Amino acid sequence: MSNKITVYEKPTCSKCREVDKILRESGSEYEKINYYVQPLNEKKLRELLKKMNMPARQLLRTTESIYKELQLGKREADEDELIQLMVKHPDLIQRPIVEKGSKAVLGRPVENIREILD
C-alpha cells in the first residue's frame, strides 16, 4: 500500500490551507488535487468514504446553496443518490480529504490529519 499522501481540496478553502501548512511543517511529501479541476469520480468517492468509514450523508456540506436547492435536509436519500449528487456537485463535499494508503480522514477539524501522519 502506498504511503503517498493525497489531499483532495479546494485551494480557496481555509481548512485546506491549514492542512497544507501542517503537512509542509511536518516535512511530509504530498500531492494536492483540486477536485473542482480534477473531479472525483464515483469509484474514487466510494473508496474515500470506505477508507474514512463514513456514510455519504456525513460528508455533505449542509450550508451550501445546492444542498438547500436539492432539499437534502428535508428528504431521505440513499447512499447511491448522495454519492452521485456529490460527484455532480462538488460543492456538496466536505473538505479537505486527506488520504494515505488504506486510510483517509476528513480534515475538519484539521487535527484529524494527525491520524495520517502517525
Active centre residues (catalytic):
13
Burial 30-54 (b: 16+ CB within 10 A, else e): beebbbeeeebeeebbbebbebbeb
Cα separation, 53 vs 49, whole angstroms:
6
Q: Which DSSP letter does residue 54 get?
A: -
